[in-house]
Amino acid sequence: MGIGPDMSFLRKLSVAIGTGILMLASTAQAAGYVNDRQQWLSMSPQAKAAYAQGMNDSQNFIYADDTLAEAMVKRGRTKCLLDLKTGADTIAENITFMYKNNDYMNLPPSAMYIITMAKICKVYIDIERSNFGLGPS
């Protein structure tokens, strides 16, 4: 063995350090999402409304590979929101209200959106389902 450093060791060390940096970066990115009640409640009303709008848009977009049942739920929620003139600020307030229940404290806002909208828009969802021969939700 020569006097210089073991190049194999240095390569392994370099790979290990690089992997560690990538793992830390991915952890930091995941931390940017709102994952529970504590994170939701720490947001400003404007941030909550913006987050709710994003959830609403993504949760109600009908994809080509959605089942008929999924599409009818999305269609029912959309009609419900339009008929009730419900804005993102109201959706955010409803999610905040639902988070008062400790059973939901660890659920992400996306789950809270689905739970909230299922309660508010049940009649609309059931009408859309029945229009296509599906039973109530």
pLDDT value for 12: 53
Q: List Cα–Cα distances, 123 to 9, 26, 79, 117, in angstroms.
A: 66, 41, 11, 11
Percent of the chain with pLDDT over 70: 77
User: pLDDT tens across 61-104, in order?
Assistant: 999 999 999 999 999 999 999 999 999 999 999 999 999 999 99
Average pLDDT, the chain: 84
For every residue of 12-62, DSSP letters joined together read: HHHHHHHHHHHHHHHHHHHTTS--SHHHHHTS-HHHHHHHHHHHHHHHHPP
Which residue's structure tokens are 């390569």? Answer: 11
The tokens describing 41, both together, are 């409640």
pLDDT digits (tens, 9 = 90+) for 60-70: 999 999 999 99
CB-based contact 59:110 (threshold 8 Å)? yes
Using CA atoms of 118, 128, 70, 102 in order, give the dihedral in degrees to the nearest 10: 0
Mean pLDDT, range 10-38, rounded to an integer: 55
pLDDT at 33: 84
